[in-house]
Amino acid sequence: MAIVLGHNQYGKAEVRMVHVDRSTPQHVLTDVNVTSQLIGHFEDTHLTGANDKVIATDTQKNTVYALARTGGITTIEEFALRLARNYVGTYEQVTGARMEIEQTFWDRITTAGGPHDHSFVKGSPEVRTTVVRKDGDTESVISGMENVVLLKSTGSEFHGFPDVPYTSLVETDDRIMATSVTARWRYDAGLDLDTAPWDHLYTSVKAVLLEQFATVHSLSLQQTLFSMGRTALELHPEIAEIRLSCPNKHHFLVDLSAWELDNPNVVFYAADRPYGLIEASILRDDAAPAGSAWEGINGFV
């Protein structure tokens, strides 16, 4: 029996960076959180402490800042690809890289004179995400969104579930349905990563998910979730797979009968926890295998 080193990766986590594009009087703000990780022949540092192959995590942090300065940030996908390509193929010991970026948004402050050129207010909690994985010449891109909170005040039912021991939930044909969507979608290997319209794809997938949430008359959150994912894949052939994680943010009807008041779906108690958690992967049955694309992405199936 021998004890050996298994898979390993290392880098700098959560490099918080704000980039200001000042090329026009109307500044463009890009606020990101970058996690840079390298994969390769790093046995020596683990086994003996010899660091001659270790590109310091501090260097990786500086590289994030430097590449933002030299090439700007057009989209988080493009920037993550540029970071990964900076290492793989450049340093012999680096065989792969994993770049994860989260982007949050600032809205322009609207003044009496219109949208302000260089003053912003923090926007919604929405987070745009990407995970780029590069193993040698093989590159994969997963894009996503988090904290997109949705609610519909009718058009949602839930009934027909089995009355097994401990069931107390009352069937309903009209309830509030609310969730906070986490979605990640993996682009098909056939997509040209150098010309992909990343902003358009993000906006379009988000719009499709919201449209389905709004328009599907829901018999379960599971049905809504599948419909959201299926429609995204139908409209976007460049996407191989989408994974969705949707907490069921329960809204319970308050019983006002003690005060002889009715409550026809008007007053709700918005529960914080526990919450249902509905998750699924929706994919093309002929999709190419995901390879390492999903490695290290926790939190849902």
Ligand X SMILES: O=c1[nH]c(=O)c2[nH]c(=O)[nH]c2[nH]1
- Give the footprint of ligand X on this chain (CB under 6 A): 158, 169, 220-222, 248, 276
Q: Which of 73, 218, 198 is CA-nearest to residue 142? A: 198
CB 11 within 8 A of CB 35: yes
| Marked catalytic residue, from 45, 57, 95, 104 | 57
- Taking the complex as a whole, the smallest distance from the CB of residue 155 to ligand X amounts, in Å, to 13
CA distance 125 to 102: 12
Helices 76-87, 57-71: inter-axial angle, 10-degree rounding:
130
Contacts of 115 (CB under 8 A, 6+ apart): 108, 109
Closest-by-Cβ residue to ligand X is: 221
Instruction: Give 50 or 270: the residue with its C-beta nearer to ligand X.
Output: 270
- Taking the complex as a whole, the smallest distance from the CB of residue 13 to ligand X amounts, in Å, to 35
Whether cis (ω within 30° of 0) applies to the bond prior to 264 is no
- Would you state the torsion angle of the CA atoms of residues 85, 86, 90, 93, taken in this order, to the nearest 10 degrees? -90
Distances (CA, A) of 181 to 16, 126, 150: 23, 9, 8
Instruction: Give 34 or 178: the residue with its C-beta nearer to ligand X.
Output: 178
152 is catalytic: no
Place of tokens 């004890």: 3
Instruction: Give 21 or 174: the residue with its C-beta nearer to ligand X.
Output: 174
41 is catalytic: no
Contacts of 221 (CB under 8 A, 6+ apart): 177, 179, 246, 248, 276, 278
12 is catalytic: yes
Instruction: Give 97 or 278: the residue with its C-beta nearer to ligand X.
Output: 278
- Taking the complex as a whole, the smallest distance from the CB of residue 219 to ligand X amounts, in Å, to 8
| Marked catalytic residue, from 12, 134, 206, 249 | 12
How wide is the angle at C-alpha 118 spanned by C-alphas 114 and 124, nearest 5°? 80
Question: Does 231 carry a binding-site annotation?
Answer: no
Question: Does 222 carry a binding-site annotation?
Answer: yes
Strands 251-253 and 268-270, bridge-based pairing: antiparallel
Question: Does 130 carry a binding-site annotation?
Answer: no
Instruction: Give 103 or 179: the residue with its C-beta nearer to ligand X.
Output: 179
- Taking the complex as a whole, the smallest distance from the CB of residue 278 to ligand X amounts, in Å, to 6
- 1 burial via Cβ count (<10 Å: 0-12, 13-18, 19+): exposed
- Taking the complex as a whole, the smallest distance from the CB of residue 281 to ligand X amounts, in Å, to 17
Question: Does 226 carry a binding-site annotation?
Answer: no
Query: What residues are designated binding site for 5-hydroxyisourate?
Result: 57, 158, 175, 222, 248
The residues that are catalytic are: 12, 57, 250
As annotated, the binding site for urate includes 57-58, 158, 175, 222, 248
Binding region for O2? 57, 248
